[in-house]
Every structure is written in structure tokens, then in C-alpha cells.
Amino acid sequence: MRRCACQRLFSRSVFPSPTQRGVQPAVCPSPNPHQLRPGPSSYSPSDPSSRRRNFHSTRPRAQPLQASSSAYVLVLGIACGSALLFEYIVRNNFRGARDNDGTDTEHRVSHKPAQHTYDYFYTDMPIPPGHLGNLTPDQEAKLQDLWTATLRVFGVEEPHHVSGTDTPLAEEESTVAEVDGKDKKKSKRRLGVFKRHDKKDSSNGSATPTKDPSRHADSDDKYGQVKDFHEILATQDPELLRATFWSMVKADHPDALLLRFLRARKWDVDKALVMLISTMRWRSQEQHVDDDVVLRGEGGALEDSKSSDPAVKREGDDFLAQLRLGKSFLHGTDKEGRPLCFVRVRLHRGGEQTERALERYTVYVIETARLALRPPVETACIIFDMSHFTMANMDYTPVKFMIKIFEANYPESLGAVLVHKAPWIFQGIWKIIRGWLDPVVAGKVHFTSDVTDLEKFIPKSQIIKELDGDEDWEYKYVEPVPGENDAMKEEGPRKELEAARDVEVREYEKKTFEWLATGTGAEADKIKEDRNSRARQLNENYWKLDKYVRARTYYDRTGMILPDGKINFYPPPPGKAETHNLAPTSNAPNVETSADDLD
């Protein structure tokens, strides 16, 4: 027997039938087969209305309410289930699959040199795209173009153009002859990027780029770096720019440093060059990073705190106060191997320290974190602990400074920003701050509310107990030790190492010119290996030179940064390290966090 429409719907329903629920079902009358046959007088193929009349007149009357309700419930259930399934698939496919450039993790390359038990250049973390060791041919060509432009601005000439060079022209010509015509054409283009403007060189001998960087001024020059660039080329000695650059390199691979600027400017060589040169002036003339913040450090601040000059004494006291409170500190790594920087926002109050002291302290922490980076890990993870935050802790001035230097002077240094336990009053503040951020930087900000959220980024065993994790560690400042910077007074060893470094730098520049002049093939691969070997020697030279040019820090005294350049992100507690059993100075004040700091 044929069933009516309501019976068919109920038979497909995911709910029990009316009989199963103890409800008497509605009885649908059995249709008469004769009633289903339209008569000749009531149907006309040419009359659509007759078809409608016959259909409605012969269709059995069911219980429309029960039928339609079950259908709607069924459709709703299917839709909800499909949505949940889709969300599950999407979340699992894309969770953690993107790096800072928005590329998939699957495209990362694992690399770990086997010739060293501890490698100062590489860790065993995957290499993201666009980083040293995982470049496409186009990206490597951009890197070569930026090196060409940078060396030209520094006034560094090709070896065969310099009299008395130990690289004869015939030798380079024979090398180039091995390259096919296409590669030779590319090499000539790279080496001649500025040659059309030789007659327009600035009065100081530096070069002018082929393209006018001011074309980027309208939309891409947020911090006025194009203007800085023109002023630098017109006023700065190229050799001074060169010295500032190699001072900035420190223990980095020079290629890795340039690649950060290229990635930050989406592989636009002109923009990357403007950003690089502007950053060098910021370091040397505005913040005095290498000749003050790094050179004098905590020991210099301790000396300043004893000065008879009230202004100098205030600067020293304010710098040390932030260290002693532990307003921010470095400890441990996240799941990506990035150093963790903790910022305890509740310990900051506007006006307690001078703006200059806040800036110097911020640069000091960033420069210390740079020394702890090991490629391919080139970024840090910052945790802003907003526990017990009040409006008294809000200060827009240092926030703007941090945004500016991360976007303009330390490109590609932020891996993730975790805003932890932010109260509801921070919602309005975040709307303001977000408007200041570059969209790429804003996309790296994540809000966490408990330790479960933090575990998405950091293993619980590596989350300190202060944030409800399992690691039994707390920050306790160790004061500068008398005599820890005595090596900086020894001019003889320092000058000897600096002279050796200058030789290594010139050899690296020479190998760079050879790399620029060579296309692809076995010869090019050999030159790349030689350049990497020279970069490794520069790294080793820096760590020998380090104690003569950088004041010791809390992280040296506690064993996180070791004298030979090794990094231990989980050192023993102060006083228990084998080679760093350093006691605080006797005349240093004992500063503890008071109850007032936790409101």
C-alpha cells in the first residue's frame, strides 16, 4: 500500500515515531485510485489551471503541522552537523600551519650541520621559507641585489678595481667565463645597479640608488625613513656607515640580517635598502646602541647611579630599578624554539622612570635577546602578563616606542605576542593600540586567559609557576659584580681581535663580490660554501671579542649566556651554576616587589 506524505517523512525522521512516544498518530485516509485519475472534462493540457485544480482536488489531506516540523528539525540537524564538521576540519588543517610570512609549515626545511655538537649558527628547528637555507632562486637574486646596493652605499669597490688587491682581474674573468651567457647578463646587471649614477654620487662619495626611494613616501614611509635615507647619503661618511653595519651584525650571519629587511619589505630591494640605512643611523646617532646601551650596560648604570649629577644619577637609578623589579626578563623558549620575553605590566607606572631610561632598557632587552637567537629561529615570543592590571599601569609613550622600533628598526623580530589575562578595561585600550600597528604585526597578537591557552604556544612544563605552569622558577635579579667588566679596559687584546675581524670582513666582502659575479653551478656552490665559512669565522671572532665590547648582563651572571657564545635558556638558579657562582655586590639595595605593585 502506498503511504501518504506524512508517513514517509516520519519514517525518515531522526526522532521516534508518535507511537513510540505514546501519542496516537493521525490517520491519513487511503486515497481512492479512481479519484487519482482526472476525468476528461476536468483536465486540459492547454489549461494550466485545470492541472492545478485536479492536483489539489485529488491530493489527500495529511497532517501538515507534524510533517513540516519534522522536516525542519531534520534539515536543521543536518546543517548544524555539517557546520561543526567543517569547522573541525578547517581548524585541524590550519592550526599552527602558518609562519610569520603566512606560509605553510610543510614548506619548511630541516637543517642541522653535523660537524658540530653545538652549532652557533643553526638549531634543528625547521627553516621557514625566505630564510637563509630555504630561498627560492628569485629570493636569492633579491638578496644579491640588496648586497650590491649595500656595498655600493658603503663605498666598497669590486676587488679588481682596487689597486694592490690580491684578486687579479684575469682570475675573475676566468671565473665569469665559466658561466653561461644568461647568468653573465644577470651578474652584470647586479654589479652595475648604481653605475648609471656614478656622475650623481653625493659629495661624501656614497652612491644614489637607481630608483628614487621617495616614490614609497606616501604609503610605505610610516616613520619618515626615506627622508632619513637622503640625509644620510648626503652627510654620512660611507666608511662610517660600513663600520656601523658590521657592528650591528655582531654574531649574526650577514645574509640573515639582510634577509630580515627584505622580508619586512616584501622583497622590494629599494625599500629594504632605505630601511637598513635608516636603522643604522637610528642605532649610531639616536639610541647609541653599540657605544652606550650595549657597551656600558648594567655596570655603567650602576656607576651612573652614584654620580653627583642629579640627571645622570636619575638615569642610572631608573635603568636599574626596572631590572631589580623584573619589569621584563628573558627566560625559556616556546614550542617554536623562540626565546620568551615576559613583561609584567603591573610593575610599570607612568612617570616613575624617565622616557630615556625606558627606551634604553627596552633596547637593552632586545639586544640581549638578539644574542640568544640561533637561526633559523630569528624571532622572539613576548608575553604581556596583564594580571592585576589597572589604568595606573597604562602608559602609551613606551607602547608607541616599542611599536616603532619593532616595525622600523628590528624587522622580522616578533614571532608572537601573547596578551595574558587582560581585564575588560583593556578592550578599549586595545582598539587604540591596534590602530597604530601594522596589520602584519597585529596579526601576531593573541589573547590568552589561562594556562590552557598558553599551552597552545608553550609546553606546560616550560610555563613558569607565576603563570600557573609547572616550571619552578622565578626571576631574582643578580647585581653587577665588581670587576666583571675589567676586560673592557684591556686595549691590546681588543684591538688585536678588531684587526682580525676587519680582515675577516674584507674577505667576506670579497667572497660576496665573487658570488655576485658567478651564476649557477659547481663554482657558484663552492663560493657559497666559502662565504658561509667566512660568516662562521666572523661569528667565532665576535664571541672572542664580546667581553671587550659588551658589558656583562644579568644573563651572563646567571649562566644563560656563556662566554663561548653557547646559550642555556634554562640555567641553574643563581649561585648554583658551575662557572657563574656570582654574589650580588654588598652595597646594592635589596629591592623586592611590594604589595602596592600588585593592585
Nearest to 405 by CA among 321, 558, 286: 286
Contact 421, 387 (CB under 8 A): yes
pTM for the whole structure: 0.71
CATH fold of 305-467 reads Phosphatidylinositol Transfer Protein Sec14p (3.40.525)
Q: What is the pLDDT of residues 4-13, one digit of tens each?
A: 444 444 444 4
| Mean pLDDT, rounded, for 71-95 | 48
For residues 392-404, give the mean pLDDT.
Answer: 95
Higher per-residue pLDDT: 475 or 179: 475
| Per-residue pLDDT band at 76 (split at 50, 70, 90) | low
Rounded mean pLDDT, 110-128 = 56
DSSP 340: E
- pLDDT tens readout for residues 187-236: 444 444 444 344 344 444 444 454 555 454 455 788 899 999 999 999 99
Q: What is the DSSP string of 143-165?
A: HHHHHHHHHHHTTPPPGGGSTT-
- Amino acid at site 43: Y
Q: How far apart are CA 231 and CA 206, in angstroms?
A: 11
pLDDT category at 521 given cuts 50, 70, 90 is confident
Pick the CATH number of 137-156+223-284 from 1.20.120, 1.10.3470, 1.10.8, 2.120.10: 1.10.8
Domain chopping of the chain, boundaries: 137-156+223-284, 305-467, 494-558
459 to 167, 193, 343: CA distances (angstroms):
53, 49, 19
The pLDDT assigned to 158 comes to 82
**Grid cell locating 150:** 649595500
User: Which of 110-119, 158-167, 369-378: highest mean pLDDT?
Assistant: 369-378
* Distance of alpha carbon 372 from alpha carbon 377, whole angstroms: 10
Instruction: Give the number of C-alpha atoms closer than 13 A to the C-alpha of residue 451, restricted to the C-beta side.
Output: 13
In the block, residue with C-alpha cell 639582510: 258
* The pairing of beta strand 380-385 with beta strand 414-420: parallel
What pLDDT is attached to residue 219?
A: 59
Q: What is the pLDDT of residue 57?
A: 43
Q: Give the pLDDT of residue 572.
A: 82
Burial code of 323-340, b = ≥16 C-beta within 10 A, e = fewer? Answer: bbbbbbbbbbbbebbbbb
pLDDT of residue 519: 78
Would the pLDDT of 405 be above 50? yes
Low-confidence winner among 102-106, 328-332, 355-359, 454-458 (lowest mean pLDDT): 102-106
pLDDT value at 531 more than 60: yes
Q: How many CB atoms lie within 10 A of CB 511?
A: 20
Distance between CA atoms of 271 and 244, rounded to whole angstroms? 19
Place of cell 650623481: 200
Cell numbers 622612570: residue: 353
pLDDT at 106: 36
Mean pLDDT, the chain, rounded, equals: 77
- Whether 409 and 284 have beta carbons less than 8 Å apart is answered as no
Closest CA to 226 of 243, 211, 247, 238: 211
Lowest mean pLDDT among 513-522, 561-570, 585-594: 585-594
Q: In this structure, what C-alpha cell is assigned to residue 320?
A: 636599574
Q: What is the mean pLDDT of residues 450-474?
A: 97
483 pLDDT above the threshold of 90: yes
Beta strand pairing call for 126-127 and 380-385? unpaired
